[in-house]
Structure 1
Amino acid sequence: MPKSKRNRPVTLSKTKKKGKEHKEAIVNSIRQAIDNYNSIYVFSFENMRNLKFKEFREQLKSTSRFFLGSNKVMQISLGRSIADEVRPGIHKVSKILRGNAGLYFTNLPKEEVERLFEQYEEYDFARTGSTATEKVELKEGPLDQFTHEMEPFLRKQGMPVRLNKGVVELVSDFVVCEEGEPLSPESSRILRLLGIKMATFRLHLICRWSPDDFELYKEGLDLSDVESS
């Protein structure tokens, strides 16, 4: 009887782990970027979409570089205090690196960066757990946008549907989601089928550092607290 391929041993030495060497490479890359670019920005993001972010990054790769990952590793790269900062005042950037944030290095003028980030937004389908931005309700009657093959799937999503002479129809009004409420897995699937996009991928500037200046963009942050830390 032939041996199952599932039972074949795997040599762990052939696998790669993101350990100390990977972290050191990130630290070195960030410190090199400090030398190569005029300004550093901390940015936050909402409704991150990796493919969209990659496209935005490619658009700016000739003048800029982005870093996303462990905030702690990025903080170490810059220096977390006056005693270990790699450039005067750059530890202030580390203090701002919290939560969903990243580093943006660039040679673009400040005004151009602000314009790019302010204007950038991409719409996409909301994921499970996201907050509905509007109420979506379907009225009783035929659903011409769906083929008859979709009827079993729609029923599994909790929709009160039936086939009537090969046409999918709702037997009663159905609320897909309520504004301000988190989306269920079923609601997010139905919204996708309906082509309704409720998620907006945005990037927000939080602060800017250059050898001659440090500036906060985000409201609620106290510059004096950052400077005294």
Structure 2
Amino acid sequence: MPKSKRDRPITLSKTKKKGKEHKESIVNSIRDAAEKYSSIFVFSFENMRNLKFKEFREQLKTTSRFFLGSNKVMQVALGRSASDEIRVGLHKVSKLLRGDSGLFLTNMPREEVESLFNKYEDYDFARIGSTASEKVELLEGPLEQFTHEMEPFLRKQGMPVRLNKGVVELISDFVVCEEGKPLSPESARILRLLGMKMATFKLHLICRWSPEDFELYKEGLDESDVEST
């Protein structure tokens, strides 16, 4: 009699969490890179898109290195104070690693880095909970961009639609989203169907460090703020 598949042994081993060794590896990588590259930048990001960021990182991999992850781990790597910083002045960089931020270490000229970061942006569909950048309203009448098969789906998203001779039709004006308000799941789906991209993935430089100087880019900050943070 064939052996039942139910009798096969199943491994119940748990996936190991990233622990001390993983953190130490990141710290060592950052410290090695800090010795290798001539400049270190802190940058912040909004509407992160992993695929787009990977493409941007690939463009610069021959001259630069990016680090994203735990701000606390990156701070430890650089040094949190003048007494434990790995190079003179890096504790100022460490103090600016807050929120959605990362490190960019490079041998590229400062002007080239500034130009790349200032120009880089990519548009994508906004996610649920994102803030609408504008009001979107559909007016009563035919919606010829949608096929008749989509009419039940549109109704499930709260749109007042019907089929009129095989054409999807709005029976009254419909507000998809309001400027400045968070997107509901239904709003996000409708905007995607409409092809409207409201999210801008963008990187912002916060500061630059080199052995010779330290420069702040973010408005409203000065070196006294960094020292007192």
Q: Is TM (by shorter chain) over 0.5?
A: yes
TM-superposed CA distance for 1:118, in Å, is 0.5
Shift of 1:180: 1.2
Q: Which runs of 5+ in 2 are unaligned?
A: none
Q: Structure 2 matches for 1:17-96, cutoff 5 A?
A: 17-96=17-96
Aligned twin of 2:197: 197
Question: Which residue identity lines up with residue 205 of structure 1 in the other structure?
Answer: L
Q: Secondary structure at the match of 1:73?
A: helix
User: Which position in structure 1 is the counterpart of 2:219?
Assistant: 219
Aligned residues: 227
Other structure's SS at 1:111 match? helix
In structure 2, how many angstroms separate the alpha carbons of the residues matched to 1:6 and 1:44?
A: 50
Q: Distance in 2 between the 1:37 and 1:195 partners?
A: 42
* Distance across 1 between alignment mates of 2:228 and 2:181: 41
Alignment of 1:181-196 (within 5 A): 181-196=181-196
2:120 equivalent in structure 1: 120
Secondary structure of the equivalent of 1:168? strand
Structure 1, unaligned stretches of length 5 or more? none
How many Å apart are 1:129 and its aligned residue? 1.1
Q: Which amino acid aligns with 1:91?
A: H
CA RMSD of aligned residues (A): 1.7
Aligned counterparts, 1:99-114, within 5 A: 99-114=99-114
Query: In structure 2, how many angstroms separate the alpha carbons of the residues matched to 1:47 and 1:4?
Result: 46
SS at match of 2:133: coil
Identity of counterpart residues, as a percentage? 79
Q: 1:3 deviation in Å?
A: 5.5
Distance change in 2, residues 1:16/1:136 (3 Å): same
Query: Counterparts of 2:171 and 2:8 in 1: how far apart (Å)?
Result: 48
Partner Cα distance (1:125, 1:161) in 2: 23
Pick one of 4, 7, 10 that aligns with 1:8.
10
Q: Name the CA shift for 1:191/1:109 in 2 (closer, same or farther; >3 Å).
A: same
2: CA distance between counterparts of 1:6 and 1:227? 62
> How far is 1:117 from its partner?
0.5
Q: Match of 1:100, as an amino acid?
A: D
Q: Which range is displaced more, 98-107 or 214-223? A: 214-223
The amino acid that maps onto 1:8 is I
Q: Distance in 1 between matches of 2:9 and 2:97?
A: 45
1:4 Cα deviation from its structure 2 partner: 4.6
What is the deviation of 1:84? 0.6
- Structure 1 residue 171: deviation in Å? 0.9
State how far apart, in whole Å, the 2-side matches of 1:6 and 1:161 are: 53
Partner Cα distance (1:88, 1:151) in 2: 64
**Aligned-partner residue type, residue 156 of structure 1:** K
